[in-house]
Structure 1
Amino acid sequence: MTPLSKPFRGNLSDADIASLREFVEIVEAGGITAAQARLGKGKSAISLGLSRLEGRLAMRLCERGRSGFRLTEQGQMVHSAAVQLLGEIGRFNDFIGAATQKLEDKVTLFVDDSFLFEFGEPMSRAIGRISDRYPGLRLTIRMSSPDHIYASVLEGVADLGFTALSRHTDALAATPVCTEWMGIFCGRQHPLFDMDDAMITPAELRRHSFVATEVTQEEAYSEFVRGLMIRATAPTILSRMLLVLSSRYLGVVPISFAQHWVEKGDIRELRAEGSRTANTCYLIHRRARPLGLGGTIFRNMLIDELALAGATTGTVPDES
């Protein structure tokens, strides 16, 4: 290791900032070997750069060797400070770019796959607004399942998530923005398709195979779901709908999402006592990596457009 030099005086150069960026990448990867792909460098080059940073700061940042990679107490402090510093540098660059109407930023948004059907219009308007105002902004949008969105935001793969979050953690900032109503549906060849709603009881529903339901926020509905006979798993709403369309499984899906197949006569909603539930939908981001200006602006535009569309009212769907 490079011998520790005189104490660091706090004057950071561009080279120091670059070294701190590499250090953060090494920590997030879990070690020097795992960081090779992230940094595009070999182990020896990464190790040398880390040793030089330790010499520059006059402190041992980590233990590495056969016993594995582990941050020292000082290394933990430097890592935390570096993450904060790099975030502030990124936000400064964003604000300077925004001042000249040249927001050069990248924003990745992961969205529940069913939201296109219920919230597609306000989302597309928000995308149009930010694209028109900041043509240099690079947007990445991906539709996925709530669990995958939750994990992707926590891991830093996505800047923003828009999901019917089923659990909360202090690691995420979660802003409630709208409500999604869910119901139980069956395919047209299912034994319950032609049964009158008055005859469909919770007991009757429990006699039939269900697709597992990941998002059930209301406690009473969670109890209802726990009594069902789960015979299939489908993490996304689209995959769940495929199983419902087979007429072999009942599934809990968003009512607005299901409307397309209801109108075609391919599925119907089964109305029994307690068969509907409302899920609150959230915009989420990781607290440890605050949003840059691009992400903040896009998040605010999404909230505005959802409010204008009346998506925040939580109105119960038409009972007809």
Structure 2
Amino acid sequence: MTWTDQARNGRLLIVDDAMENIQILNHALGGEHEVLFALNGEKALELAHEQRPDLILLDAVMPGLDGYDVCAALRASPDVLGIPVIFVTALTTPEDETRALEAGAVDFITKPFNIAVVRARVRTHLTLKRQSDAMRELTLTDALTGVANRRSFNDTLDNEWRRCARAQAMLSVIMIDIDHFKRYNDAYGHQAGDICLRQVANAMVPCAGRTPDLLARYGGEEFVILLPQVGQQGAETVAQRILASVRELAIPHRMSSASDTVTVSLGVATVMPADGHCDADALVRSADHALYQAKESGRNRFCVASCVQQ
């Protein structure tokens, strides 16, 4: 089985302070899954945030941060709280199992390992996670355009704000509005308007193609792009790409005062969350104000917020 197949079958994080236990589990699971490992709780949390495993096999008793501490830390972090945890431990009493489940574990496996049971439970919980992820994807996707919806944007913005604050990195937002879209609907009909929205969304997707970038439909004919760890210059480059990509669609729009084809106006705002001068809502408001300036300046262009204030 190739590495790609292993990754597709699920990424596992095995956490145990005894290397022999990690080796046993890796031998049992490594042929089917991509396997990461950590020898202590601190490293486990680091890998969970960086690598986002699909499932964690977690030893309960370890020096320093034990399994219960690690599980509590995972459940307290929005970035990783959705990762299922199976406790793997030599503790066997009902009280131990209850404590593990109350800490947030989804299952409990005792040592010494029954390899067949370990494999079966790993497969079961990976399947459940895929089903949960698929349901969550449905609730976070705009049904018309197929891009993320406003709820997804709000959730991701909160997470990326905290991440960029920890990393002392920049965070940019671009608000996008299709120029004179009401006139487009009046002239061509709402069915054509829906097709136009899908075409514009599809054209914008590759303009911000990094894994952390997010394009979302904000409402009506308005979209938003979140660009973590991107400064003003990088955000302006993305805005220029979007303008060009939408123009290249060459969708006729005889009722527009900006062009004879469909165009967009954009507002760009950038901030360093670690500075503490504003919050995430202020960043979005600043991008929206810059969008208003682009519209007032003639549309089919982008404007940059001069500053982001509370």
Task: Give me the TM-score of the superposition, normalised by structure 2.
Answer: 0.26
Greater fraction helix? 2
- The higher relative CO (CA closer than 8 Å, separation ≥ 6) is in 1
Q: Which has the larger radius of gyration?
A: 1
